[in-house]
Every structure is written in structure tokens, then in C-alpha cells.
Amino acid sequence: MIRKAFVMHVFGDCHEEYKRRHDEIWPEIIEMLKEYGAHDYSIFLDPANSRLFAYLVIEDEERWSKTAETEICQKWWAYMKDVMETNEDNSPVSLELKEVFYLK
């Protein structure tokens, strides 16, 4: 299993909307994430700077990278682009973090 963490940015006036959309996350997204080997996926918000911290465990990097190619992922990104910073393809602007410590 591979632990991954990354940061993203939600627009300052969209904190509640971002949470609402995740509270009502589409079952197809959950199904796709699990199909592509995601486990223990959490997203945390620092409201002081609108920074999102995401953490998940994946089974395989190559398999995980293919999530971006799925129709449901593309649809989710398009749905989320008005509440967070995104790239031209609607994917979230994200910075992967390097693990420097782990206590098991």
C-alpha cells in the first residue's frame, strides 16, 4: 500500500459548498475510487487560508493514475471547478507532498 498526500485550494467563499458537495458525493465516484485502489481517503480544510489537505492510501500508482481518464472523474472535476482552483482540463490544481515521517 502506498500513502499519498497533497494540497489543493478551495475558494474562500466556497468552504461550505465544497463540504456540501462531498457530503453528497456521487456513489459512482466512490465506486470508481475503490475500483482504482483507493482506501482511507480524507480531505481536511484549513479555513484560515482555504487550503485543502488530502490523504489517501492506494494499491498501485499506475492504476491510480488512470482515475483521471474515467468519465465519472471528468464529470466530477467539471462539477467542482467553480469552487476550487483548477487546471485547464478542470483537474484540481494540486501539489503532491513528500512523506518525511511515518509512525505505524
AA letter at 18: Y
Residues marked active site are found at 22
∠ CA 20-7-9, nearest 5°, is 55
Q: Would you say 54 and 43 are in contact if contact means Cβ atoms under 8 Å apart?
A: yes
